[in-house]
Amino acid sequence: MAARVGVLSLQGDFARHRASLESLGVDVRAVRLPEDLEDLDALVMPGGESTTMLRLIEDYALREPLARFVRSKPVLGTCAGVILLGKDGQHLPSPPLGVLDISVARNAYGRQIDSFSTEVDAPPLAGRFHAVFIRAPRLAPPGPQVEIVARRLPEAGGEAVGVRQGKVVGLCFHPELTSDTRFHRWFLTEVAGLDLRSPASPERVPLTAATRDAS
Ligand code: GLN
């Protein structure tokens, strides 16, 4: 049976995560209500606006079920998703879920116009990854309980931009906005331990208008 992965679909670029996951042969379910979390193998929390997402999480009575899910099952958070998973954050309407033991500074690279993309080192991929940062959060230097899975290149300061703590992964950038699905594949197979059936088409997500205009 195909792996069944939820994508939190309250706000943000959840459609792009769906496209990346479906290209890997995964059954994707949009998560908006508590019952949508039932029987999922893993969950992805997209980029977007963390304040809006937190408000909607409360409005949709998702806080408790989501907090339970992320404590026991694999979860990947990208950009705003990292803010939701971290242990603190500024100007949030309610506390984040706190399963990543890391301090997060929101919008710390500047405003939307300061968004950028760059190569990062990605040890679990044994190479580099082209990372898109959009009003991205910055992470405080993580403690030893947190594994660094992506970092800026040495000449850019080498700071951590992706972390893993057990089954929880947080990336400050947007792998779903590129056609490169290596981080999704690694999360599904190595972190979540899922078997992927071979995708019907090559493992590249076609670049579309949605890709270019997202976020
Ligand atoms: N700046 C956003 C926030 O604080 C995150 C940006 C993003 O997800 N691209 O929620």
Q: How many CB atoms lie within 10 A of CB 125?
A: 16
| Annotated catalytic residue 172 | no
Which of 51, 90, 94, 106 to mutate to test ligand 1, by most ligand atoms within 8 A of the CB atom? 106
User: Per-residue confidence of the chain (215 residues) as pLDDT tens digits?
Assistant: 789 999 999 999 999 999 999 999 999 999 999 999 999 999 999 999 999 999 999 999 999 999 999 999 999 999 999 999 999 989 999 999 999 999 999 999 989 898 999 999 999 999 999 999 999 999 999 989 999 999 999 999 999 999 999 999 999 999 999 999 999 999 999 999 999 976 554 555 666 655 555 44
Q: How far is CA 175 from CA 34, 55, 68, 125, 207, in A?
A: 26, 25, 26, 13, 13
Contact between residue 192 and residue 74 where contact means Cβ atoms under 8 Å apart = yes
In this prediction, residue 215 carries a pLDDT of: 47
Length of the chain, please?
215
**Token pair belonging to 28:** 């994707």
Which of 13, 16, 79 to mutate to test ligand 1, by most ligand atoms within 8 A of the CB atom? 79
Question: Which residue in 17, 79, 172, 184 is the catalytic one?
Answer: 79
Instruction: Evaluate: CB of 131 within 6 angstroms of ligand 1.
Output: no
Q: Cα(22)–Cα(32) distance, rounded to whole angstroms?
A: 19
Which listed CATH number (3.50.50.60, 3.40.50.620, 3.40.50.880, 3.30.950.10) goes with 4-213?
Answer: 3.40.50.880
| Annotated catalytic residue 79 | yes
Partners of 104 in beta bridges = 139
**Token pair belonging to 201:** 């088409």
DSSP state of 159: -
In this prediction, residue 204 carries a pLDDT of: 58
φ, ψ of residue 104 to 5 degrees: the values are -120, 130
| Annotated catalytic residue 119 | no
Q: How far is CA 57 from CA 86, 97, 192, 209, in A?
A: 16, 11, 24, 28
**Which residue in this structure is represented by tokens 């949030």?**
92
Partners of 44 in beta bridges = 7, 76
Contact between residue 168 and residue 85 where contact means Cβ atoms under 8 Å apart = yes
Residue located nearest, by CA, to atom 2 of ligand 1: 49
pTM, entire model? 0.92
Extents of the domains making up the chain? 4-213
In this prediction, residue 197 carries a pLDDT of: 75
DSSP strand E in the chain: where?
4-8, 27-31, 42-45, 75-78, 104-105, 116-122, 127-133, 138-139, 147-152, 160-165, 168-171
Instruction: Evaluate: CB of 83 within 6 angstroms of ligand 1.
Output: yes
In this prediction, residue 207 carries a pLDDT of: 63
Nearest of 93, 98, 6, 83 to residue 48 by alpha carbon: 83
Residue 131: half-sphere exposure toward Cβ, Cα within 13 Å: 25
User: Beta strand 147-152 with 116-122: parallel, antiparallel or unpaired?
Assistant: antiparallel
**Token pair belonging to 74:** 């694999």
Find the 48 Cα to ligand 1 centroid distance in Å. 5
